Amino acid sequence: MNVLILSAMMLFGACDTDNPIDKPVQPDPDPVTTVELSIVDKKSTDQTKALYSQLWAIQSKGFMFGHHDDLFYGRKWFNVPGGSDTKDVCGDYPAVFSVDFAEIMDDRSLASNSNDIRRRCIIEARERGEVITACCHLNNPLTGGDSWDNSNINVVKEILKDGSQTNIKFKVWLDRLAKFALDLKDSKGNQIPVIFRPFHEHTQTWSWWGQMCTTEKEFIDLWRFTVTYLRDVKRVHQFIYAISPQMDVPKTKDDFLFRWPGDDYVDFIGMDCYHGLNPSTFSTNLKSIAAISKEKMKPCGVTETGVEAFTDKDFWTKQILTPATGRFVSLIVTWRNKYDPQEEGTHYFSVFKGHPSESDFIKFYNSPISFFSKDLPDMYIQAENVVVK
């Protein structure tokens, strides 16, 4: 390669504050001919292994944009097939559809009428070739409280006590998830792969699985128990298991690996990063997570981000695109836009029709490194030069 061209490429890669619009992402500085990845579930379906390979491959090209519950509801609409706040603005769907599996699992499932909507949205996303990821804001199986009920430090201890009432209840919840997943099929009868991230934001204190209510060993044992039960007992072979600590301020490698369940139990390294209007923090943490991704040979991404009620006109190019340029992450997912047709509240984290950042979002959409639905390669066939074992 011409020395002057190489020098220019290296200079661009070092300038995080440059405007990345219309500038191509730089190639991986450490290219390899063939990459070999190890997946938690050795019996994963072919499409699950293919998706895993594509998550790795796409990191060297750019990142997929995602939005939580984008197909389920928006700022001014609810349960409209084909609906999407994202599509209303840019004419395309997000590449990643994020959804919550909690109501499928816990006792809300007995009264919920929304699980059929979740199923429809997931199938719609898969038929367009998009990627599905799922979190779980599970209720507290010991106290009956919600996800943020950290009033009893024995909840995980009771889950792990074989034969206890809480253990039996939690297994029933996992049984419900397994049934939903195994019945979740595309138009050709293939089970739909899902990036599944239980016990998210475990670095914080507010949830019953967080660091206030669990010891390090208890959290790791809970994670491993959940993976083993779904994979080996219920034979769910379409999950890619993702961990997602919360990283709101600049973090180190040790922070990302807090209570790490082990390389054999984690497929995907995520982070929930609510860094506010501070792109330097986002850039720092993106750099850190990408480094861990390469070290552990596991794809990575931002599983939640955004600023509630943001009004910045240049939010997308300044706060997301610029810090993400050259960072080698597979996806960046913004949190939800709450259904609020009268606009009485301000619980929204992404763009919608009429938002001040609409035109900037179009610039973001048109960037060569942001992938939306129409930009995706076939995510369900094996990526070239990536082997999954």
Half-sphere exposure (Cβ direction) of 304: Cα atoms closer than 13 Å: 26
- Residues annotated catalytic, as ranges: 201, 304
CB 181 within 8 A of CB 194: yes
In 3D space, the residue among 279, 190, 233 whose CA is nearest the CA of residue 41 turns out to be 233
- Cα distance between residue 188 and residue 179, in whole Å: 19
For the chain, the straight-line distance linking the first and the last C-alpha, in angstroms and rounded, comes to 34
DSSP state of 50: H
Over the range 253-288, which residues count as b (16 or more CB within 10 Å of their CB) and which as e? eebbebbbbeeebbbbbbbbbbbeeebebbbbbbbb
- Cα distance between residue 123 and residue 102, in whole Å: 18
- Cα distance between residue 104 and residue 75, in whole Å: 23
Q: Tokens at residue 77, please?
A: 């609409």
Q: Tokens at residue 208, please?
A: 């019953």
Q: Tokens at residue 330, please?
A: 């597979």
